[in-house]
Chain A
């Protein structure tokens, strides 16, 4: 009898040793994989820095505020593109916020279930799945003529393409990010809170304003930040409708250019090494701009939620 007991005990110990080892291996592989992502990001940054060293040496800080981009005479200033990137992204963000918040509240609070809600939710997620070059084509052939006729009515130069058209395209492309995340956040508001507010005689609008929005604020803002990141880096769709002129836009209807689209446009045919290096430095600047905006955004979210 005791023999059997001993064998059973030995087997149990063996099993748990194996289990512990398995756990360790699992944990180690998780750490390794997450670290590899960190390695990639840091290596990425360093590659950008090293490759753009010739341009940094030759141009210095003038690269950031220079207003001329002239590959023929080796004059490189990225200011118009920096401005174009920030203008299109923030304009798109401002236009998109009412739409994405409204969708989030509508799907999270008013119609959380049912076929219509599912349909709408899938449609919004589909927007995010459409390849950006298709947005570009659609923008060029459908949106741009509409913008042009609008420009004719308000009496500005009717280019059609430009900062405004790009912002509209970006708006459509980034809505799903803020809307989906926002919807989840709105749904996660505990019903006990909402019911308590109703019990106190609050109307639905008051519940949204005083309970749901404050509770889900950090999630909504995180969604906005996510969509801003998407807008900053978007290349293809913007390239096709922004007009690609390297002058400083004098209004939101003027044509312009963004950092991402300059890289996409000129990288393949960049003949001189300084030119190539300057294009990579644009990539570095874009990288840093994204990092800075993300950090500032996180700060803002933290401040809002701790209040």
Chain B
């Protein structure tokens, strides 16, 4: 009896400790992060030349190339963690990194959490291609926005549907059932693709909408680009969307897609860059999907580096802010030459001009950093 009550007492004490512990970590997450970030900035002060970044996995190969080149030029160390756009935004919100990178502009909720203005600087653009597996078809298929949307809505279920054969005259298309593949993991690629579908198809826009993960009306989910392309490759009749770079590097076959001007565009680096050569808003926050450019591939989007407009926060030194801005300036100019080899689309001239203006608007204690 005595032992039992003792055990009981110990158990109560333990749960009390546990509750206390979790409450302080759970509720006070904002404040504890704040103190952690001040510590990190204090230790990595102006003396050591290190910048921290986090975000999109899509841009990671390009960033690692650019940052290693920039390190050779200037000796500046840039540590970029590819943890996903959402994670990058969260880290920037908590001020634990110097810059974030996202494949989508901040949502209203995210911007609200930041509290202060955040600059979006376009870094490069990427395209999403429609890949398919029809061993019998040797020509490159043409697809219209309407057809793609109806396939993903589950309304076109056979490859020889009149809607598909009508736009591909002279191509013998078999009666294979269509197997739709999509990304199962939340991803910027899905965001670009669903944003495009929302723009071209009202039914998609109301029924499904756009986002990093959506409620797919039909189809199977594969994890990452390899998962989706695995599904397509394994199933005759499979169709799915993957990043252009991934499709090029893995020799996938992909369709020409009709753009707003009515032209069927082969997705490649040139046509993706062209998609961004349109009148851009001054803050560059635009989804490029369904571009107005006549020679632009319609399913593409920017990836943005994110920084606070006012760089004097958390006792950051002016040197650090200067380093960051100079590095980003280099990325949108000289750094762009590394895009091509890694199958990213460099910024269009229009986008570079916009990005320059955005970088110039960054301040330190209210004064412009770049002259």
A: which residues have CB within 8 A of B?
Answer: 35, 38-44, 46-47, 50-51, 68-73, 75, 140-141, 144-145, 148, 159-161, 239-240, 243-246, 255, 257, 261, 264-273
How far does the alpha carbon of A245 sit from the alpha carbon of B23 in the complex, in Å? 35
Known: A71-B215, A73-B209. A271 touches B109 (CB 8 A): yes
Contact of A68 among B213, B215, B220, B235 (CB under 8 A): B215
A-B contact pairs, 20 of them (CB 8 A): A42-B15, A46-B19, A46-B26, A50-B26, A71-B186, A72-B211, A141-B230, A145-B234, A159-B179, A160-B234, A161-B231, A257-B221, A264-B185, A268-B87, A269-B84, A269-B187, A270-B186, A270-B213, A272-B107, A273-B109
Question: 9 other contacts beyond A73-B215, A245-B221, A269-B213, with CB at 8 A cut-off?
Answer: A39-B21, A43-B19, A46-B22, A71-B215, A243-B220, A245-B220, A255-B221, A270-B186, A271-B211
Closest residue of A by beta carbon distance from B84: A268
Let me know if B86 is at the binding interface, CB within 8 A.
yes
Summed over the interface, the residue pairs from A and B with CB atoms below 8 Å come to a total of: 131
Q: In the complex, which range does the number of interface residues on chain B fall in? A: 35 or more
How far does the alpha carbon of A140 sit from the alpha carbon of B84 in the complex, in Å? 24
How far does the alpha carbon of A129 sit from the alpha carbon of B106 in the complex, in Å? 42
Closest residue of B by beta carbon distance from A35: B14
Q: Is the CB of A39 within 8 A of B107?
A: no
Binary contact readout B207-240 vs A (1 if CB under 8 angstroms, 0 otherwise): 0111111111001111100010011001100000
Closest residue of A by beta carbon distance from B230: A140
Which A residues are in CB contact (< 8 Å) with B11? 38
B: which residues have CB within 8 A of A?
Answer: 10-11, 14-15, 17-19, 21-23, 25-27, 83-87, 89, 104, 107, 109-110, 179, 184-188, 208-216, 219-223, 227, 230-231, 234-235
Q: Is the CB of A239 within 8 A of B18?
A: no
Which B residues are in CB contact (< 8 Å) with A73? 209, 215
How far does the alpha carbon of A272 sit from the alpha carbon of B110 in the complex, in Å? 7
Contact of B18 among A46, A75, A246 (CB under 8 A): A46
Which B residues are in CB contact (< 8 Å) with A271? 86, 89, 104, 107, 109-110, 211-212
Q: Is the CB of A35 within 8 A of B10?
A: yes
The smallest beta-carbon distance between B66 and chain A, in angstroms, is 23
Q: Is the CB of B22 within 8 A of A266?
A: no
The smallest beta-carbon distance between A77 and chain B, in angstroms, is 10
